[in-house]
Amino acid sequence: MYITRITVSGFKNLKHIDLIPGKNFNIIYGQNAQGKTNLLEALWISTGCRSFRNSKEKDYLAFDEDEFDIKIIFQDELRTQEINYRMIRKNIKNKLITLNGVVQKNNSGLFENFKCIAFLPDDIELIRGTPDKRRNFTDLCYSQLKPKSMSFIRKYDQLTAQRNAVIKNITAGKDSEESLDIWDRQLAAVGSYISFMRNQYVEKLSVRCRELYSRIAGGTETLTVSYQSNIFPQDFEYPSVPDSSMTEIYYRKLHEGIKNDIRLGYTHTGAGRDDISLKINGLSAKEFGSQGQQKSTALVMRLAQAQIYSEEKQESPVILLDDVMGELDERRQKFVCSIIADMQVFITTCNHRAVIAECENIFEMHGGRIITDSEEKSNVCSSG
């Protein structure tokens, strides 16, 4: 999969971007606050995902613009496709999104068709951060392979919120424990599927991360990745497909925890309490890993994500490297480039000379624009 044309205007500080990228490495350079990350963010939201910077939708619009337009033309293994994403200030809640000219009622069509993997400076939070960072990473990775699975994540969140509301009613004396049973049955069915999919993905992730980390560490360290279910024990043998036995185990765990849930005021048992264990030479990467080890672990997790997707789907995702390469030494840059060499890559950096990737597609960004005219470029340089 690769993008053949990007046009963006009015998205944050971006103005009249019209970019024809190369099929492999593309470097976008410029000083800070010129719009480099905004451009990658525009690509990312075109996948149907929320902003990787946690931007609110109302903040997508530039202060001095009444609307923004994003158009992405990309080629997958079968055909050329086109995404159009538009938002108007006076009706900000109603986005107009079309895929190949067909209006999309939600973002699922984008998510199923256009795939990006973003490497970000704060990816280290996958290691240092709270369990929800690792759960969200795993859920997104699996859903990129099987987009319909995202509906289970949404359903789980809805059911948990409804169950928590009933718990509050029980605490207030407005409801009985028996009223939880209908929610527990549904939550057990959805939650057991989520546990299954997380375990299935982490098994693949573990193999890839172990191999990649060994290479980046020169064979001196071993990274172990494992799934820690809040419901199923470490030695639980998952079936080849989710079945009723998993649902029953999940249901029993919920039922056994009802008294504690009522005391705490929320659901404390289930897939919402899962975590991913990351250990280097048997020790927690979060608790005992050095900053370099943690950064390497986060990096190989993203590289493993890209590898798994490429192998499972028989096509490559678009890779977004936002101000990441400049933090890596030459050896690690070469390592990253060797893994993603056959993919379309967008690299943002302040100093393009610090990026060792062989690249003929180098674009300078200034004031939210891609500078293409040599005379304009020289004026910018002389004024800077």
Helix-strand-coil split of the chain, %, nearest 5: 50, 20, 30
Q: What is d(CA 342, CA 101) in angstroms, rounded to the nearest whole number?
A: 30
The DSSP bridge partners found for residue 224 are 279
pLDDT at 383: 34
Task: Give the mean model confidence (pLDDT) for residues 104-132.
Answer: 92
Per residue in 354-379, pLDDT (tens digit) is 888 778 789 999 999 998 654 344 44
| 51-55, 134-138, 332-336: least confident range | 51-55
Per residue in 83-101, pLDDT (tens digit) is 999 988 877 667 899 999 9
pLDDT at 67: 87
| Per-domain boundaries in the chain | 1-115+317-384, 124-313
- Percent of all residues in the chain with a pLDDT value above 70, rounded to a whole number: 96
- Percent of all residues in the chain with a pLDDT value above 90, rounded to a whole number: 71
- Closest among 142, 140, 170, 8 to 73, alpha carbons compared: 8
Three-class secondary structure of residue 362 per DSSP: strand
pLDDT at 92: 63
Residues 6+ apart with CB under 8 A from 244: none
pLDDT at position 384 over 80: no
pLDDT at position 307 over 60: yes
pLDDT at 77: 86
Q: What is d(CA 347, CA 119) in angstroms, rounded to the nearest whole number?
A: 10
Task: Give the mean model confidence (pLDDT) for residues 322-327.
Answer: 86
Amino acid at 351: N
- Closest among 186, 182, 117, 191 to 153, alpha carbons compared: 191
Measured from the Cβ of residue 93, the count of other Cβ atoms closer than 10 Å reads: 7
**Average of per-residue pLDDT values in the chain:** 90
Task: Give the mean model confidence (pLDDT) for residues 42-54.
Answer: 90
Per residue in 165-186, pLDDT (tens digit) is 999 999 988 888 899 999 999 9
Q: What are phi and psi of 98, to 5 degrees?
A: -125, 145
More confident call, 377 vs 148: 148
Q: Is-contact 347 30, C-beta < 8 A?
A: no
Residue 366 parent element (H or E): strand 361-366
Q: Alpha carbon of 358 to those of 105, 117, 325: distances in Å?
A: 41, 21, 13
Q: What are phi and psi of 67, to 5 degrees?
A: -160, 160
Measured from the Cβ of residue 283, the count of other Cβ atoms closer than 10 Å reads: 12
Q: Which CATH architecture has domain 1-115+317-384?
A: 3-Layer(aba) Sandwich (3.40)
Task: Give the mean model confidence (pLDDT) for residues 102-126.
Answer: 91
How does DSSP assign 191-227, residue by residue? HHHHHHHHHHHHHHHHHHHHHHHHHHTTTS--EEEEE
Q: Is-contact 13 64, C-beta < 8 A?
A: no
Give residue 83's Cα distance to chain centre.
Answer: 19
Residue 324 parent element (H or E): none
Residue 15, class by beta-carbon neighbours within 10 Å (0-12 exposed, 13-18 middle, 19+ buried)?
A: middle
The class of domain 124-313 in CATH terms is: mainly alpha
Q: Alpha carbon of 186 to those of 8, 155, 156: distances in Å?
A: 43, 10, 9
pLDDT at position 191 over 80: yes
Task: Give the mean model confidence (pLDDT) for residues 234-246.
Answer: 91
pLDDT at 242: 87
Bridging pattern class, strands 345-349 and 283-284: unpaired
pLDDT at 272: 93
Task: Give the mean model confidence (pLDDT) for residues 244-264.
Answer: 94
pLDDT at 377: 42
